[in-house]
Amino acid sequence: MARSPTFAAAAASKGLGPVVAAVLLAACGGSPPSTPAASAASQATTASPSTSANRISVTLSDTDCTLDGESELSAGPVEIKMHNATDGQFDLDIWRLDDGHSFDELAEHIDEEMRRISSGEPPLGHPPFAELVAESTAETGMDGELDAELMIGTYGFACIYFPSAGELGAIRSAGPREVS
């Protein structure tokens, strides 16, 4: 399973060393946040624009990550509007949970990941019970869009906040969203 550049950048920003950061970034195939190339690549790898009524918005504020829109979506293209209400970069990861796993498990994993990074412990990395299906970035002071193709299942969202280049502010969870 591929690793998100956001988790690698988060580990690098907490002083886990250049070797660990390089290994994580190489495993991701990504680059650190706040580079135009990373944002463009993220947008370019998403599905084509949606003509579906499946629309949700994700807002990252200084204290929370919230979802607006339908709680149940139809399988297929989904248009996601990202609203960055922070003074930093907003990275969004969309996770499809494996059968038999709950959104609460994802939220606990994200909370533990943030705790570990904040205390200088090795990060957990991606949850072994979920698949990263889409990711995007909204730069400082800007909103973003993400068009994704979602299959039947339960989804959770990870909102990653970088107050400045390479400095992790927070990782927050939002969800769940059911797709049928």
What is the tens place of the pLDDT at every residue in 121-176? 999 999 999 999 999 999 988 999 999 999 999 999 999 999 988 889 999 999 99
**Is the pLDDT score of 46 beyond 80?**
no
> Would you give the DSSP letter of residue 141?
T
Task: Assess whether pLDDT exceeds 70 at residue 22.
Answer: no
Average pLDDT, rounded, for the chain: 79
Amino acid at 51: T
- Rounded to an integer, what distance in angstroms lies between the CA atom of residue 118 and that of residue 133? 26
Q: What is the pTM of this model?
A: 0.74
Q: 103 vs 50, which has greater pLDDT?
A: 103
Which of the two residues, 27 and 8, has the higher pLDDT score?
Answer: 8
Q: Is the pLDDT of residue 48 over 50?
A: no
Half-sphere exposure of 40 (CA within 13 A, CB side): 3
pLDDT of 123 reads: 93
Least confident piece of the model among 26-35, 44-53, 117-126: 26-35
Q: Is the pLDDT of residue 15 over 70?
A: no
* Phi (first) and psi of residue 24, to 5 degrees: -65, -45
Contacts of 149 (CB under 8 A, 6+ apart): 47, 76, 77, 78
User: What's the 3-state SS for 70-98?
Assistant: CCEECCEEEEEEEEECCCCEEEEEEEEEC
Q: Is the pLDDT of residue 112 over 70?
A: yes
Domains of the chain: 5-179 (2.60.40)
Q: What percent of the chain has pLDDT over 70?
A: 71
pLDDT of residue 130: 98
More confidently predicted of 109 and 62: 109
